[in-house]
Amino acid sequence: MAGLVFVIGLLLVGGLLFLGASLLLGRGETQPPAEPERSPVQLPEGRAVVADDVRALRISVTVRGYRMTEVDWLLDQLASVLDDRDAEIAALRAQLPAAHPEDDQRDTDPGGVPVPGDGLRAGPDDDERRTGA
């Protein structure tokens, strides 16, 4: 008799726990797909995303959403990476003209089209070598 009361009590407690968990976590149905033309966050169109764009993002909080501290940390990390990327690109662009000074020395005709040859401006000695004179 005591065993039967124990089993009934166990089933009752288990059922109540299951009911409470289902009410808290939902019934397991899937969410409808997000609308492709609508996004809860706005990013710039027509230009690259920069760190300030990431810092300005505000993501709405829901009952079953993410932890705000984790999202804030992630956005800070992304903004930092974007700052580093932009600084590196700027440094590389600053080095670009200095890395290829010979580009300014190439032969071009009046229309700006490169003249075939070794790529350097022809001098009087070069003309003599080409004609054999």
Q: What is the SS3 assignment for 104?
A: helix
In the prediction, which pLDDT does 9 show? 95
In the prediction, which pLDDT does 11 show? 96
Here the tokens at position 58 are 């505000």
pLDDT tens by residue, the chain, 133 residues:
888 999 999 999 999 999 888 877 776 666 666 566 655 667 777 888 888 888 887 777 767 677 777 778 888 888 888 899 999 999 999 888 766 656 555 555 555 555 555 444 545 555 555 555 5
Within 13 Å of residue 76, how many CA atoms lie on the same side as its CB? 6
